[in-house]
Structure 1
Amino acid sequence: MTTRNRILLALVGVVVLAATAVVYTGLVRARNRDGAAAATDDVTLTGPRFLFRSTADAERGHLATVAADDPGGARAVSNVVCNRVYAAGGTGLCLRPESGLTTYQLVVFDAALSVKQEIPLVGLPNRARVSPSGQRVDWTVFVTGDSYNGGKFSTRAGMLDTASGALEGTLEDFAVTVDGKPYQAADLNFWGITFAQDENRFFATMSTGNHRYLVEGDVSARTVRTVRDNVECPSLSPDGKRIAFKSAVDGDPAKGWRLSVLDPASGAVTPLAEERSVDDQPAWLDARTVAYGIPRDGGHSDVWAVPADGSGTPRLLIPEAESPAALEPPR
């Protein structure tokens, strides 16, 4: 299926998504009217701080930061509302509802939260990442309308070059290799991109049939190849040698997801000490620590952290928060 046809089908799917979107957007705006936190002058994408999306009632959805050495302490809250956020290299990414509409948009910020670019999104925001230098941003949305999928949600994963402002297409346009052989299928879905330091190499999840593969990609060559099965939402470590990820328990998403760390060179997998189901793309806070969101009732969530070597126990890092990112290069 061509990109043009996928986009046309996705546009049809927006009609279905609109009902969900308007409910969510209405809830966010209602909460904002009831006492959203005012913008503060000290909200910037500079460290040593953690960026996150607040889930506290008075600031629901607002982009916020907190000191890395006191993550449970006072937070700086902006007036920017997002569904997902991330930042690296002085570049911020926000997936948010469009003002007055039931659709969404991708917004790229500079370190001072000044808008650099806005792009309409077809679908419901799901994942957001920024490459280490800030040169590229990537995102995943849920869409409907793919004929093979019977009206259920599918995904689209796209990239943007922040230097040129050029869209680099979706991963569905890349040439795929499965187990060393060229592969084509109508049911290809991609999500959860994470970039290496060179900005060209990346990892992501690819699903087809009953498999959810970890794939390694090359932006310049526009290729992806499978690396390992049952790996979702990868996150490359600061040294580029390990990948934090979630995997379906016993290969069955209905049983939940377990966080682990993969050493691609040896193939060794280290289960992390977090034994609760984590349906999130983990984020590296430094070379030793992985963070992730755990939802609670009523749309609330907390960010937890756990050692990346499988030791220790999970600890509450930032209450009333999700979608975390470290705002200085992790070491």
Structure 2
Amino acid sequence: MNRKSRVLILLVAVLVLGGVALGATLHAAGRAGEKDRAQAGGPLVRSGEVTLDAPGVGVFRNMAWGPHRDEIASVPAGDPTGPRTSSGVRCLRFHTAGGTGVCLQAVRGGLRDAYRAVILDSRLRELRRYDLAGVPSRARVSPSGRSAAWTVFVSGDSYAGAAFSTRTSVLDLRTGRSDRTLEDYRFLLDGRPRRPADLNIWGVTFADDNRFYATAATGGRTYLVQGDRAARTLRTLHPNVECPSLSPDGTRVAYKKRVEGASSDAPWRLYVLDLRTLRETATAERRSVDDQAVWRDGRTLVYSLPGDYGSDLWTVPADGSGSPSLSMRAALAPAFTGR
């Protein structure tokens, strides 16, 4: 073997050994990083398939820092702190029911951000998309999966003050018919027709594909309204109700209520209204909840509060008993499939 061959073999050996050492170092660092994340309470997130029709699954916007932040992810509903499966689909607001998803997204690039609503099938494949008139705020799908609604801020970016304007749209996915703004509906305040110039509607929650509930605001007050898509009417039912969420049996509404003496920056408490008696029940959550709560089942509410990653999910009994409990860190916009 000549000198040139020996030098070449030595060079190859050095490169191979160096590569092995580097790989081992990176692998060890990755395991150490994973361990550190687990010790710090950060959730483990892995790429995979997320479906919207599997029974017993919690689906949500993952808020954990890393490559999967803002992606729709899932966990078994019975193990909310377990490893997350992330879909690769990014949403600012999200909801699913009946195997259909609605995803409100930011569209980057251009002079300013734009936004769109994307309708997804049970495998998170895009079916349709619609341009939005403002910043995403709320989204809901009807129990059948055949209707969707969304609210955006046309001006302002918070419900806490008075200087905001919203637009809420409802879409029939069977016919493609869109009610672009619910402010066009006939508004009945205490049974009397009104056409207030300052009317705002937001926070739809569906009873079925025709009937829904939402918040109406006018004259500095908010109301729970019952909507009828066929009749194109909104009828007030109860005052001081914002962001309603209908229970699975259709008999109660969870909502945020402004309470006297609270800070103007954090004015709400989480309540439940019995639709038959109009009796209000305060939940055991005493912090201000600026969210449209979700019913995990007929007894438990899920809602977001600020956390280290931007948002954590908490639970509380709907009947006023018990106490709040942290359910999931680094998560937002939950929904539960296969109910």
* TM-score category, normalised to shorter length: 0.7 to 0.9
Return the alpha-carbon distance in structure 2 between the equivalents of residues 152 and 115 of structure 1: 34
Partner of 1:182: 193
Return the alpha-carbon distance in structure 2 between the equivalents of residues 106 and 250 of structure 1: 36
Return the alpha-carbon distance in structure 2 between the equivalents of residues 200 and 136 of structure 1: 9
- Corresponding position: 1:165 with 2:173: no
Q: Percent of aligned positions with the same letter in both sequences?
A: 48
Report the CA distance between 1:296 and its aligned residue.
2.4
Return the alpha-carbon distance in structure 2 between the equivalents of residues 98 and 117 of structure 1: 15
Q: Which amino acid in 1 is paired with 2:133?
A: V
What residue ranges of structure 2 are gaps of 5+ in the alignment? Answer: 1-44, 157-161
Return the alpha-carbon distance in structure 2 between the equivalents of residues 173 and 253 of structure 1: 33
Give the counterpart of 1:222 among 211, 221, 232. Answer: 232
Partner of 2:58: 50
Give the counterpart of 1:104 among 94, 115, 123. Answer: 115
- Corresponding position: 1:72 with 2:86: no
Task: Judge which range, 108-117 or 152-161, deviates more.
Answer: 152-161
Return the alpha-carbon distance in structure 1 between the equivalents of residues 51 and 210 of structure 2: 30
Taking the TM superposition and a 5 Å limit, the aligned residue runs for 1:80-99 are 80-99=89-108
Report the CA distance between 1:100 and its aligned residue.
2.9
What residue ranges of structure 1 are gaps of 5+ in the alignment? Answer: 1-36, 146-150
Please tell me whether the aligned partners of residues 46 and 84 of structure 2 are also in contact (alpha carbons under 8 angstroms): no
Give the counterpart of 1:62 among 71, 80, 95. Answer: 71
Give secondary structure in 1 for the equivalent of 2:183. Answer: helix
Please tell me whether the aligned partners of residues 45 and 51 of structure 1 are also in contact (alpha carbons under 8 angstroms): no
Give secondary structure in 1 for the equivalent of 2:296. Answer: strand
Please tell me whether the aligned partners of residues 261 and 269 of structure 1 are also in contact (alpha carbons under 8 angstroms): yes
Q: Which amino acid in 1 is paired with 2:185?
A: F
Give secondary structure in 1 for the equivalent of 2:180. Answer: strand
- Corresponding position: 1:309 with 2:319: yes
Return the alpha-carbon distance in structure 1 between the equivalents of residues 337 and 200 of structure 2: 30
C-alpha change, 1:107 and 1:48, in structure 2 (3 Å) is same
Return the alpha-carbon distance in structure 2 between the equivalents of residues 223 and 169 of structure 1: 14
Please tell me whether the aligned partners of residues 100 and 122 of structure 2 are also in contact (alpha carbons under 8 angstroms): yes
- Corresponding position: 1:192 with 2:203: yes
Return the alpha-carbon distance in structure 1 between the equivalents of residues 199 and 249 of structure 2: 30
The alignment's TM-score, normalised by the length of structure 1, stands at 0.83
Return the alpha-carbon distance in structure 2 between the equivalents of residues 75 and 252 of structure 1: 37
Partner of 1:247: 257
Return the alpha-carbon distance in structure 2 between the equivalents of residues 75 and 38 of structure 1: 6
Please tell me whether the aligned partners of residues 198 and 219 of structure 2 are also in contact (alpha carbons under 8 angstroms): yes
- Corresponding position: 1:211 with 2:221: yes
Report the CA distance between 1:308 and its aligned residue.
1.0
Q: Which amino acid in 2 is paired with 1:90?
A: G
Report the CA distance between 1:45 and its aligned residue.
4.3
C-alpha change, 1:70 and 1:99, in structure 2 (3 Å) is same
Return the alpha-carbon distance in structure 2 between the equivalents of residues 179 and 172 of structure 1: 17
Report the CA distance between 1:44 and its aligned residue.
4.3
C-alpha change, 1:190 and 1:252, in structure 2 (3 Å) is farther
Q: Which amino acid in 2 is paired with 1:207?
A: A
- Corresponding position: 1:123 with 2:134: yes
The alignment's TM-score, normalised by the length of structure 2, stands at 0.81
What is the root-mean-square deviation in Å for CA atoms of aligned residues? 1.9
Give secondary structure in 2 for the equivalent of 1:57. Answer: coil
Please tell me whether the aligned partners of residues 117 and 165 of structure 1 are also in contact (alpha carbons under 8 angstroms): no
> C-alpha deviations, 1:30-52, integer Å up to 9, x for none?
xxxxxxx7741344442211111
> C-alpha deviations, 1:145-204, integer Å up to 9, x for none?
9xxxxx9430001111112222122111100000111101110001000010x3211100
Report the CA distance between 1:122 and its aligned residue.
1.0
Please tell me whether the aligned partners of residues 43 and 77 of structure 1 are also in contact (alpha carbons under 8 angstroms): no
Bigger Rg, structure 1 or 2: 2
Give secondary structure in 2 for the equivalent of 1:159. Answer: strand
- Corresponding position: 1:233 with 2:243: yes
